[in-house]
Amino acid sequence: MSDTLVTSPALTSLSEEEELFRQTVRDFAESEVRPHVFEMDEAGKFRPDLIEKFFELGLMGIEVPERWGGAGGSIFLAVLAIEELARVDASAAIYVDVHNTLVNNALLRWASEEQQARYFPKMTTGLLGAFALSEPNSGSDAFALQTRADRVGDHWELTGRKFWITNGAEAGIFIVFANTDFSKGYKGITGFLVERGFEGFSVGKKENKLGIRASSTTELILENAKVPDANVLGPVGQGYKISIETLNEGRIGIGAQMIGVAQGALEAALAYVKERKQFGKAIAEFQGVQFQIAQMRTDLEAARLMVYNAARLKDAGRPFTTEAAMAKLFSSQVADRITSTSLELFGGYGYSKEYPAEKFYRDAKIGTIYEGTSNMQLMTIAKGLIKS
């Protein structure tokens, strides 16, 4: 597709290295991912060879230091990768997003030197990660989680169930949050590095979803799952802090996914309205359609600038929690609107799987839900305002 729509102040401000990286990921998404998007969505399964190629291309260790096999890059580079993949397929983007902005990020900030040396060389070459916080009765109220961790000799035993775990079907390493002391409330929550092969740990059912269907979303089952003491992530009782701070960065990644989805939907709609003829001329020549396209483009640019700003703030070591929440909130709203308008511009064809509009529409909806619903983002933004 044409690059016309993505030439904007937000992107022309990229460094030469960032622009080259963006183009590399775009070329990969077009040549390797796009040919399989429909079949993966229909099957509800992502191609394993594409995950392998993510690792080969260096997309799974963007912020990991070079000494552990990573690129030693920034979250801004991760945002560019997620955006470009989501422009073609939101499911492809979320594999890269969760692995980088949640799992790798948590280990970078909280894992010991020994843990990083043990896991990062694998996690940059083929070991996929997942982040396991949500439970059947613990969603927005994440600290109501009921998974229990008991110290037994030189190890811990975890018991409980986790729901809605992205990457669950393919991941080999999971950051699992459990409570080590319920008398302390959320201050008993602790993070654990759980490998797929650990005794007592198993992956349950895979969800049959509306959108991002090729991305695996599963249940995790822990039945006295044995976790070595060496696999506690950060200090015992600090899991609440680890999860909150990790999700702050993760929201920037979701923002990137949403602007990618919106970009793909806008490009598809623009190409269609130039070709579709009614009343003897292309519908792009009607002012009503032009106004819709113009509004879509404007909304997308605003959302992109917000996501990029949050990423730049994080990379600069400046506070970014409020900006990340605003970026995630607004980009998900924009993706919802743009994909809906795109579908309508396709008319009856938009409701058919023959064209990409309906998939973009389905994929966009998750942005208002996971890694904190829109209402939770509004709470975060409001708290930031009140404290300032």
Q: Is 171 helix (H, G, I), strand (E, B) or coil?
A: coil
CA 115/CA 203 separation, integer angstroms: 23
For residues 138 and 190, is the Cβ–Cβ distance under 8 A? Answer: no
Q: What are phi and psi of 57, to 5 degrees?
A: -80, -10
CA 169/CA 91 separation, integer angstroms: 13
Cross-strand partners of 165: 218
Task: Using only the alpha carbons of the chain, give its radius of gyration.
Answer: 21
Q: Is 83 a catalytic residue?
A: no
Helix 239-275 × helix 321-345 angle, to 10° = 30
DSSP 72-101: ---HHHHHHHHHHHHHH-HHHHHHHHIIII
CB atoms under 10 Å from CB of 217, counted, come to 21
Task: List Cβ neighbours of 127 (8 Å cut-off, separation of 6 or more).
Answer: 119, 172, 173
Helix 357-364 × helix 239-275 angle, to 10° = 160
DSSP character at residue 15: -
* Structure-token pair, residue 221: 């089952």
Cross-strand partners of 174: 130, 194
Q: Which of 83, 157, 249, 371 is catalytic?
A: 371
Q: Is 257 helix (H, G, I), strand (E, B) or coil?
A: helix
The catalytic residue positions are: 371
